[in-house]
Amino acid sequence: MMKTLLSADFLKIKRKGFWLLTFLGPFGVVALQVVNYGYRKDYLLQQSDNDWKYYLLNVSSFIPLALVLGIAILTSFVASVENETNAWKQLISLPVSKMRVYLSKFTVLACLLWVSSCLLMLFTLVYGIFLGLGEEIPYLDLVKFSFYPYFAALPILALQLWIATFSQNQGIPITTGILGVIFTYSAFTLPDWMIWKWPSLINDWNEPIINVLLGIGVGAILYIAGMLDFTRRDVK
């Protein structure tokens, strides 16, 4: 049941540029470092003893922004596929539970972002090796830097999907999405409880794993809230 819903949902995002966006996000993040290191590699290598770690830090500084922006665009795209001709009414008239419909949409988005994170890791690794930052590649850090922000951003994904499904006007999720990007941009100054701060992995205890756990926990709560709201609401 879930499998068929998912495969239908993946069919629906064909030719809409979803996969291109999924690729462009991580590509852009690493491309910025290509420019950065391309211009002043010698200067950057002098900044730190551990060239790999310093490189990963540089890459990761743009991940939260790309991630939050990506979430905003992808969620509103996914909702617009159904909103465009009000296909929700057709979809919900099928013998499927509304919870599963919502879960399927969330899963599609989570999958796309997961692919993005994988690509991010790959691109980071490839350019790192190309730069010749040293024989000892910190794989564990590489995985952390690539996937921790993903988990920490789950609450934003759940919130944006919720907003995108109940808004008739797609201007609303876009607005909250852009606000989210601005919040993420100013993550340093935000209090710890703001979900937009979490993907930057900054917190008072200097323990990124806290953001990951918080992300999964609060993400689940927001997801369930959104799903229950979706099942309760009348379909327009």
Partner 1 sequence: MEYVVKTKGLTKSFGKEKAVTGLDMKIPKGEIYGFLGPNGAGKTTTIRMLLGLVKPTSGTTHIFQKDLKKERINILKRVGALVENPSYYPHLTAYENLEALRKILGVSKSRIHEVLEIVRLSDVANKKVKGFSLGMKQRLGIASSLLNDPELLILDEPTNGLDPSGIIEIRQLIKRLPSEYGMTILISSHLLSEIDQMATTVGIVTKGKMIFQDSIEVMRMFAHQNMSLKVSDSEQAWRSLLANGIKSDYKDGIILLSERSNEEVAKVVHTLVQDGFSIYRVEEEKKSLENIFLQMTKEEREE
Could you tell me the smallest distance in angstroms from the CB atom of residue 86 to partner 1? 6
Q: Which position has the token pair 């941009």? A: 185
Assess 85 for contact with partner 1 (CB under 8 A). yes
Q: Which amino acid is at 76?
A: S
Could you tell me the smallest distance in angstroms from the CB atom of residue 233 to partner 1? 9
Contact 59, 30 (CB under 8 A): yes
Assess 35 for contact with partner 1 (CB under 8 A). no
Q: Which amino acid is at 105?
A: K
Alpha carbons 30 and 41: distance in angstroms, whole number: 15
Count of residues that bind partner 1 according to CB under 8 A: 26
Closer to partner 1 by CB, 2 or 178: give it: 2
Can you tell me which of 39, 43, 49, 93 binds partner 1, judged by CB under 8 A? Answer: 93
SS3 content of the chain, % helix, strand, coil (to 5): 80, 0, 20
Could you tell me the smallest distance in angstroms from the CB atom of residue 105 to partner 1? 13
| Residue environment code for 65-103, b if the CB has 16+ CB neighbours within 10 A, otherwise e | bbbbbbbbbbbbbbbebbbeeeebeebbeeebebebbbb
- Short-list 106, 114, 89, 88, CA closest to 159: 106
- To which H or E segment does residue 69 belong? helix 63-83
By CB under 8 A, what part of segment 206-235 binds partner 1? 234-235
Closer to partner 1 by CB, 96 or 210: give it: 96
Closer to partner 1 by CB, 74 or 214: give it: 74
Q: Which amino acid is at 40?
A: R
Contact 183, 190 (CB under 8 A): yes
Closer to partner 1 by CB, 84 or 136: give it: 84
Phi-psi region of 104 (alpha: psi -120 to 50; beta: other; left: phi over 0): alpha
Assess 48 for contact with partner 1 (CB under 8 A). no
Can you tell me which of 46, 48, 90, 186 binds partner 1, judged by CB under 8 A? Answer: 90
Assess 80 for contact with partner 1 (CB under 8 A). no
Assess 20 for contact with partner 1 (CB under 8 A). no
Closer to partner 1 by CB, 97 or 186: give it: 97
Could you tell me the smallest distance in angstroms from the CB atom of residue 113 to partner 1? 22
Can you tell me which of 16, 46, 132, 213 binds partner 1, judged by CB under 8 A? Answer: 16
Can you tell me which of 44, 45, 57, 81 binds partner 1, judged by CB under 8 A? Answer: 81
Q: Under the rule (CB under 8 A), what is the footprint of partner 1?
A: 4-5, 7-8, 11-12, 14-16, 81, 84-97, 234-235
